[in-house]
Amino acid sequence: MQRQSSFKYEGQKLASWYFTVAVILFGVQLVLGLVSAIQFIYPSFLYDILDFSIARMIHINALVVWMVYAMIGAVYYLLPDETGIEVVGIGIAKLLFWILTLAVTVVVLVYIFIQIGPGKESTIWLITEGREYIEAPRWADIGIVVVVLGFLVNTFLTTMKGRRTGIMTVILSDMIALAGLYLAGMFFTDNISMDQYWWWWVIHLWVEATWEVMVGALAAYGLIKVVGANREIVEMWLWIEVAMLFGSGILGLGHHYFWIGTPEYWWEIGALFSSLEPLPLVGMFIHVLYDWGKEKGIKTGTGEDTSSNNTPALMWLVSNGFGNFLGAGIWGFFHTLPQVNIYTHGTQFTAAHGHLAFFGAYATILIAMFYIAVQGKYGIKKTKSHICFQNGDIPHNFRGFRNDCGTYYCRI
């Protein structure tokens, strides 16, 4: 039974498409992650059919792509909300969505069925680039750039035409940097030191700078939306976060240049700046708790209902604050000093950090955005964290109660 969608804008409908694909890719990521994990224990599992290298590649690529989808979706969702107008080129935006989705499907099918190619340029163009996280073949690289460019132009024009908020300014400049950095990962070189130098420009400056700023902006939007936080305070925090994240994150890039043949001064630069990287993450965690507590306190004072209007989203926002701080901050700090890193470099410790950080920092905030979109789609005034059924079969341990939207049946 499909209810009429209550989205106010077409841009938000498009966002829900992006979110849908993101969730599917999230599923792909989980399945392939599971396959890789099984192969660690039983190496013969799917040997020569879907080897670890392929399973793992799809696992990490699905990760990157679902997050990019969810981020684009999140921007399309909040764009009309923030600017107060419809996305300018919504028709083109929808077309680009289908092109991107088609391209992603083709790339995944090639990954699964063709897997690898001969050591020729054609492989790099058509099958795989064989570079961790950005294996996508070059034709897809170019396609991605075109689609993202369309998305950027749309965001830019909409922001310029509509109301210009601090959140939109941050997102817009961040998206431009984010897209530009992808270009650094699109060339081939025989020199592996050079290769890795630029590879880290993409990877590090994405996940430890531009993506983190994106998280800050999404959290800011989420807090305004979910607990009704004060925009001026939230945006001030956001600017402080941007200063701290970029201030530490950009030169923190040095911590990847300890052992790849680059000059020794990167030891000092990398150690200094990357040890500062956890600070903004602590700040972000405090910020979420602060706003949540403050708004709750005000409501208690005036005798209003203190619950937030989207409990699952709020819970994911809070877990984002904590997860980001734990996975990216603490786990990252553990091994960011060269003296420690010389022993942890190239070990499973990095994998542990990668998993905790990606989940804590990015998965959580994007899942919060999913919940905000679900709320928007069905026009729910207050989303609760119960499993609810409407009519239909009601399990015996569920009980009905009434709320704004009718009778729901929830687990007791």
State the burial class of residue 52 (Cβ atoms within 10 Å of its Cβ: 0-12, 13-18, 19+).
Answer: middle
Question: Can you tell me whether residue 399 is helix, strand or coil?
Answer: strand
Among 1, 2, 4, 48, binds other proteins (CB under 8 A): 48
Residues 6+ apart with CB under 8 A from 212: 245, 249, 280, 281, 324, 328, 361
Q: Is 135 helix (H, G, I), strand (E, B) or coil?
A: coil
Written as six digits, the tokens of 21 are 């694909």
In angstroms, give the least distance from the CB of 128 to other proteins: 6
Closer residue to other proteins, CB minimum distance, 147 or 242: 242
Is residue 206 part of the contact set for other proteins (CB under 8 A)? no
Q: For residues 235-274, which are near other proteins according to CB under 8 A? A: 235-236, 239-240, 242-243, 246-247, 250-251, 253, 257, 259-266, 269
Distance CA 96, CA 102 (A): 10
- Nearer residue to other proteins within complex by CB, 238 or 366: 238
The correct pick among 105, 348, 390, 403 for binding other proteins (CB under 8 A) is 348
Q: Could you say whether residue 121 binds other proteins (CB under 8 A)?
A: yes
Distance CA(333)–CA(323), nearest Å, equals 14
* Beta carbon of residue 325, minimum distance to other proteins (angstroms, whole number): 20
Give the pair of three-digit tokens for residue 175: 């998206």
| C-alpha to C-alpha distance for 345 and 353, rounded to whole angstroms | 12
> Which residues pair with residue 410 across a beta bridge?
388, 399
Residue found by looking up tokens 């786990």 in the block: 331
- Does position 310 bind other proteins by CB under 8 A? no
Contact string (CB under 8 A) for other proteins, positions 133-162, x = contact? --x---------------------------
| Residue 117 touching other proteins (CB under 8 A) | yes
| Residue 145: exposure state from Cβ atoms within 10 A (0-12, 13-18, ≥19) | middle
Q: What is the x/- site pattern for other proteins, positions 53-72, by CB under 8 A?
A: xx-xx---------------
* Lookup: tokens for 11: 């841009």
Which of these segments, 4-12, 98-106, 344-352, 403-411, binds other proteins (CB under 8 A)? 344-352
Q: Toward other proteins, which CB reaches closer, 116 or 315? A: 116
Q: Does residue number 191 form part of the binding site for other proteins (CB under 8 A)?
A: yes
Distance in angstroms between the alpha carbons of the first and the last residue of the chain: 25
Binding site for other proteins (CB under 8 A): 36, 39-40, 43, 47-48, 51-54, 56-57, 115-121, 123-124, 127-132, 135, 166, 169, 188-197, 199, 232, 235-236, 239-240, 242-243, 246-247, 250-251, 253, 257, 259-266, 269, 345-348, 350-351
